[in-house]
Structure 1
């Protein structure tokens, strides 16, 4: 984190170093902080006492009062309280909005999920997002001046300034209706990120890519989107377009950026229309419900022969997608993310078999995400907490020093 915290114009790096040590640690002693922050004892104690005076660090009961005393002078104990501030995460998709507010220990304080009208104008979408954001903040009980960071995920490429480039059909401008500007006053740090980038952040922080430096989080439900991490860095590009999947319009056997949901339904319908499915079988029975992908995959997991054939063909489709990503980014792992991941194993089994001959490089390991449908919110929380640690909290301390 930034270790420069200002007191009357003078840098106090020691305050930042102690804050960095204390973040997410729970109770600690001055001796532990001294070692962890690489400071002298007197400097450590001075920094801790300053932070206690500012109400940023709390002094706890000493070891004797806490029942941990074993002789000698009891050590003073301190903690950076999780309720010192909060962060906001948004997932603004084409037709849905998710908002989560957490404390600094990631404990949820409010959660909201609702639909968004894809036909809304930019102005209507802005107003709707702000209205629900105000409602979530009220539910959380957190004063607005205690919000240390905010991160919003959108279904569009996002440049470094939080804007999205124009889209031929206006889709990107609608899904990211100038959120960086609209939300600018909500926190010391406001970030807008592509949803697949946030999925990659979530997998690296809490999921299947912990400790991995080269991986792709493939959001694969309705539309394909890839968050690419190479050499430990999430890739963005000049316009935030790394991982945009329009390239698959030009890949034989893939032919579009449609995700595994519509592709699985399309393959099932093709199997039925070709007369290859059992007329009285459970796959044909799903026609009345529109051939939902999750139920097709559940049938495949139960070894229904028709659904297994669909899953195998969906796996061949996925293998072509992964082969292109593997040749482009050389990942160690490709993680299938989103709600579709819950039942994806039959497809992954087929994709693993089909992938090997499609690559000259070693094939990436194919995994399913275990972070669920809210993975974009999970990544937005991780991103907002990192910003709160590096910027929001030091700014809070600087304000209290000046005040």
Structure 2
């Protein structure tokens, strides 16, 4: 969502030329008019207005650049991708990651912070988010005044106004401490569910590029789903599309616990039972995290492989239910867990039911790793910046 009101009146030609420039490297007025369908005079007028607003820069002409042969050299232009910056934030359960990027989404600087799980309140979390943003800006040699748009992802449903509904334990309110207000110093503010931003990332640069119907399944410590249908990211009345509480009632899943948590819990349970073989017994309980268990499975440890098969069966059931609800072409397992989840995905593929009414979706692992949410947040911030920049900077006279 954006903090801005509706757009002021301005020539639509400025929006058209700016959209063309954002998707181009350098261009001439002829290039722009051929793409936009505007007249030459209208194109030149809009281009000059955008230069005056600081959104486009005029490049040296072909003669000065050494490319001129004969005739009058055409004026050349390019987006000023350094005219402002955008910020992407992954405000997770246990961490905050911030990336500062230019208007094309190229990262300039970043900063991170760790949180103690379930030991922070809303105010403290908001302060950590703000401090991490300021540190990232300082690393880039910038300040808040250089920012055009901020997008933050949180592990909670988020409605169209950027706020989260009340949760029985106030978990959602703590995960999203009214960040739309905390970040209101930025001209454009967008708050989204973290799995939704994972879906944005997968569709922009990840495993769902070119796909119009897919789900990004954040599957680390908790499950969350970003759902894209017919090319549109779904939200719902309260932002609850993709919330996984329904899996409390699904046999073999029983809750929204993530794949990583399930793998580590099963490994610790096996060790405590005394039934583990030498491989798992040789690892301290506190060190039996998901990465360790999945790594051991990849190396052929028998106990770890059985755990992977059990987690894969759970994933297959999750994918089957999501497939029947949303009919996606693809489900992408995303998040930090995806770095070592290939064995689980393979086990899930083997366990997918063959008697579903709809074809089972393709199941793949993400290649974006633990940065998927912040990558999606930057992409979403760029999209919001494109949409609202002329509202922020005003239309040229």
| TM-score, L = length of structure 2 | 0.93
Whether the aligned pair in 1 keeps the contact of 2:97 and 2:132 (CA below 8 Å) is no
Post-superposition offset of 1:271: 4.1
| Structural mapping, 1:39-188, within 5 Å | 39-117=38-116, 118-187=118-187
Q: Are the equivalent residues in 2 in contact too, given 1:5–1:15 (CA < 8 A)? A: no
Q: In 2 relative to 1, CA 48–91 (structure 1 residues): closer, same or farther, beyond 3 Å?
A: same
**CA, structure 1 residues 159+55, in 2 after alignment: closer, same or farther (shift >3 Å)?**
closer
- Give the alignment partner of residue 319 of structure 2, picking from 311, 318, 322: 322
Deviations 1:62-118 (A, max 9, x none): 122223224333222111111011111111112211111111122222201111243
Shift of 1:327: 1.2
Query: Are the counterparts in 2 of residues 326 and 359 from structure 1 also a CA contact under 8 Å?
Result: no
Mapped contact 1:323–1:358 kept (Cα < 8 A) = no
Give 2:200's aligned residue.
201
Match status 1:12 vs 2:11: yes
Per-residue Cα deviation, 1:279-313 (whole angstroms, up to 9, x for no partner): x2x23222444311112111222222222222111
More displaced stretch, 226-235 vs 353-362 = 353-362
Of 104-113 and 135-144, more deviation after overlay is shown by: 135-144
> 1:40: Cα distance to partner?
0.9
CA distance in 2, matches of 1:40, 1:167: 55
C-alpha contact 2:268 2:285 (8 A) present in aligned 1: no
Establish whether residue 248 from structure 1 lines up as the match of residue 234 from structure 2: no
Alpha-carbon offset, residue 141 of structure 1: 2.6
CA deviation after TM superposition for structure 1 residue 41, in Å: 1.1
Pairing of 1:287-326 with structure 2 (within 5 A): 287-326=284-323
Structure 1 length as normaliser, TM-score? Answer: 0.92
Q: Secondary structure at the match of 1:68?
A: coil
Secondary structure at 1:39's aligned position in 2? Answer: coil
Whether the 8 Å contact between 2:201 and 2:379 is mirrored in structure 1 is: yes
State the alpha-carbon separation in 1 of the partners of residues 294 and 383 from structure 2: 37
User: Which range moved further: 120-129 or 374-383?
Assistant: 120-129
Task: State the superposition RMSD in angstroms.
Answer: 1.9
Tell me the distance in 1 between the aligned counterparts of 2:288 and 2:17: 56
Q: C-alpha distance in 1, partners of 2:101/2:319?
A: 35
Partner of 1:213: 212
The residue aligned with 2:362 is: 365
Taking a change above 3 Å as real, the CA distance of residues 356 and 386 of structure 1, as seen in their structure-2 partners, is: same
Count the aligned residue pairs: 391
Q: Which residues of structure 2 form unaligned runs of 5+?
A: 1-5
> Structure 1 residue 374 and structure 2 residue 335: aligned?
no
Counterpart CA distance in 2 for 1:156 and 1:235 is 14
Q: In 1, are the aligned partners of 2:62 and 2:74 still within 8 Å (CA)?
A: yes
Deviations 1:129-167 (Å, cap 9, x if unpaired)?
223322322332334333221111111011111111111
